[in-house]
Structure 1
Amino acid sequence: MPPDNRDERRPGLARAPGGHTPGEAAQRLFDIYPGSRPASIARVLTETLQAGARAGGGSLVLYTGSGLYVYDRSSRALIAGIGTRTMRGNGNYELTAVSHIGPAIAYLATMRAAGGDEWRRLAEALMTRIDDFRGVNAASDWLGDADAPALAGRTGAVRDMIDYACRLSTAYLAARLAGDGSDFTPDDARARYFTAGMDGYPIGFDNVMVATFALAVLQDAHAIASGLRAAAADGRFDWSDTRIVVFQLVGNNYGAGLTARTNWGIDLLMRLGGADLDPGRIFVAPYIDRRDDVGADPLPEAAFTYYDQAWQGIRDRLDASNAAFADIRAIEPSAPPAIPGDWGATDADDIEAFVRRLKYTFGTSDQLLSNATGFWVAGALEAAGWDPTRVRLPGFDTGFPPGIRGYPPTRSGAPDG
């Protein structure tokens, strides 16, 4: 068993392997400053500024992996509670399930090429589940029953897209299962499934993946925009003095979305707030606790104080540091260049650009997967006056091969091929 180097006088304080422990005078000097210590300078400053801010107004916004919640400062009442794509009642779960078919087939092709012997069983299981959902999609108005206002008027087109995606996927898998599997390779999947090539299936699954991402992001962006714009319009919410804390763990993507450039949701907030929102009022706090009562109305005082003090503590440190170094010339980082998939840099019909962005988001640890279309959709929705019906979505409304204007109507029966 390794030696226990903790100092029993200061729980959590480690002793050096040689046995040295900071003396009491050093410990007392250390303890008087950090905000983590009771009655410290930083803690008292935070409490002082927080008390003034509580009296002066300014809502608290908590942007989590499951939604965005706006709380009134004086009453802690929930001004707006907006569920996002992880909520199962808005149709995004079904759209995401369809988008997963593409990576699943890519993984199966890689598995077969690597000599794995489970690929055939798993491919058959995938086909069964695809067929089951295709039947549900054709027989029910599942999207019409969902809470999906951003997709109003698009339910028939979504049904057609899903039917086509399912038929394409089962036709491709059936063809590969019919032989010994030697032709089921990543290169073959790219050529004959993702970018098209099979007889009767001119639209590749790349279009479907881009479309499902765009549809899901449009849902979230519209929900957030509608909720915040309504709250601001009736005076319940003011962008100029709001405090925004972002902690968006989604799945196991632990290192993603921690900056404005890696989180399209922050870009959306900046577009909504416009000149009234100081970017310095948005703080990403990945290590903050995700309390179970986030979303409650009202937010319990302990939880409100915890998140409010977290925001204030970050702001105090920045303000104090900038004041202390006021005579030092600041470093102004240059704006990052636009990349494929950004609004203003990519046309809606450029599916290849969005697929490149999709690869980038999947292959880069700091990116939210929804960034594949998120920055583009946020910009497009703003340009459309926040009206989702005016947004032409890549892979769904446009971006098809020459001569094709959309997905074919839903069919009954087994897939062709």
Structure 2
Amino acid sequence: MTAVYESPEFVRLFNTYTADPDSIGRRLGRAYAAAARDTPLLVATGADFALYPGSGKAPQVVGYRLSPRGFKELTAVSHLGPAVASLVYLRTALGDASWRPDAERLLAEVKNSRAANSAQLWRERIAVEAYQGREQQIAAMVDYTCAVTARYLTAALDDEDYLNPETLRADFLEGGGAPLPVPVNHVMVATFFLAGLDISFRIGRWLRAQEIDWERAMVLIAGRQGRPTAGVTWTSSSVATLILGASAHRLPLERMYLAPHAPTFASPRDGDLSEVVALEGQLRGVWCATRVTVELGGRMFEGYPRYAPASVSFPDVHDPAVTEISEMPAVRTRDDMRSLVTRLRMVMEDPRQLLSGAVTDLAVEALGQADWDPADVYVPGLTDVHYPTDL
């Protein structure tokens, strides 16, 4: 293969601004970062928040996604809908006989979890602060969901023809009426909302306690957030939604950058912040290099229309003419289940979305309206819903 010729003179010219470690562009980024060294930087990874106060002060770190109390217990219930749907897909779409041993395994674990579930468990052992006062409701919801899941799986194991998309929707996910008084779709809304409520409450309280100057703060959402294709725009990132809500929308969108390729730190263990401290310079560099290009554009092209983050149009899925959507639907009322369940469908089908983002924005908004008191928040699918416990 013939080597590609590169003119050394033009390569040096290219490197003078762009590629060389001491290039003009790199110097500009470093100079901007030096000027912003006293500005607070908030960094969110896939599992933690770190606040770098600036001026060489030590960072503060708090976990939000993987370690909190009740996360796995609640998510286990959230996932019963897609778990059963996966069994249906294995049998009907793929003809895969592994659905049966998987159904038997799932049935056994559902029964075990139902036996372990109680209000006392949620109140005294799991003990999520944001759920205080709701433990009896949550236990009833979990008991009911385990019961109807076991009933459906038992019927499918007795007669595999029963395991199909029609019965999945009619007898499990949607239902309605005596056999299924509360659709499992509503349970999924409630559990997703509760998870968003807990994270928003804990992190919102932590952020507000830092007394961040949001108008000048630098915010970076770094690395992978959930599945590989998701959460790379502020409209599809539940973390971005959380930060905006905690700032009471004082944080300008133009000061928050989502950087999926930025370096990240592992969750600190035993209070060891050495890795977090070591990355401050690089993380500030990512934010500042991005920002200085923005400001350079304004100086170069003044008089031309400037970029501004676009407002989002929320479609009304109650309109019969709306059969497809590309943005999260509007929610008419706090228990608008057609819109809320449509959000569940969207986060599964739209690869841009985080699965956790279905209702997190609603939880954050509701918390703000309740003056950050989770006890005063209406939880769709749970508040004012009666879950029978005699199934």
Q: TM-score, normalised by structure 1?
A: 0.84
Matches within 5 A, 1:85-164: 85-87=65-67, 89-114=68-93, 115-138=95-118, 141-142=121-122, 144-146=124-126, 148-164=128-144
| Contact 2:117–2:142 (CA under 8 A) maintained in structure 1 | yes
Aligned to 1:397: 383
Aligned partners of 1:140, 1:285: CA distance in 2, in Å? 42
Aligned to 1:266: 240
Alignment partner of 2:24 out of 41, 51, 58: 41
Residue 245 (str. 1) matches residue 224 (str. 2): no
Aligned partners of 1:134, 1:248: CA distance in 2, in Å? 37
- Residue aligned with 2:51, SS: strand
| One-letter identity of the residue aligned with 1:123 | A
Structure-2 change in CA distance of 1:339 and 1:385 (3 Å): farther
Residue 355 (str. 1) matches residue 341 (str. 2): yes
Q: Deviations over 1:282-339 (max 9, x none)?
A: 1100111223377853665531101011111000111112211112223556522114
Aligned partners of 2:250, 2:380: CA distance in 1, in Å? 31
| Contact 1:82–1:223 (CA under 8 A) maintained in structure 2 | no
Count residues with an aligned counterpart: 378
Aligned to 1:20: 4
| Contact 1:130–1:170 (CA under 8 A) maintained in structure 2 | yes
Aligned partners of 2:124, 2:258: CA distance in 1, in Å? 35
Q: Deviations over 1:384-411 (max 9, x none)?
A: 122111110111115xxxxxx32234x6
Structure-2 change in CA distance of 1:120 and 1:276 (3 Å): closer
Aligned partners of 1:66, 1:370: CA distance in 2, in Å? 13
Structure-2 change in CA distance of 1:300 and 1:334 (3 Å): closer
Aligned partners of 1:293, 1:190: CA distance in 2, in Å? 40
- Residue aligned with 1:43, SS: helix
- Residue aligned with 2:150, SS: helix
Aligned partners of 1:25, 1:146: CA distance in 2, in Å? 67
Structure-2 change in CA distance of 1:355 and 1:132 (3 Å): same
Aligned partners of 1:47, 1:255: CA distance in 2, in Å? 30
- Residue aligned with 1:21, SS: coil
- Residue aligned with 2:137, SS: helix
Matches within 5 A, 1:1-400: 18-34=2-18, 37-54=20-37, 57-79=38-60, 81-87=61-67, 89-114=68-93, 115-138=95-118, 141-142=121-122, 144-146=124-126, 148-179=128-159, 181-197=160-176, 199-232=178-211, 237-247=212-222, 249-251=224-226, 253-274=227-248, 276-292=250-266, 296-297=272-273, 301-331=277-307, 334-339=310-315, 345-398=331-384
Tell me by how many angstroms 1:197 deviates.
5.0
Aligned partners of 1:344, 1:379: CA distance in 2, in Å? 13
- Residue aligned with 2:203, SS: helix
Tell me by how many angstroms 1:140 deviates.
5.6
Structure-2 change in CA distance of 1:339 and 1:173 (3 Å): same
| Contact 2:329–2:342 (CA under 8 A) maintained in structure 1 | no
Tell me by how many angstroms 1:250 deviates.
4.0
Tell me by how many angstroms 1:366 deviates.
0.4
Structure 2 stretches of 5 or more lacking a match? Answer: 318-327
Q: TM-score, normalised by structure 2?
A: 0.89
| Contact 1:384–1:390 (CA under 8 A) maintained in structure 2 | yes
Aligned partners of 1:376, 1:112: CA distance in 2, in Å? 36
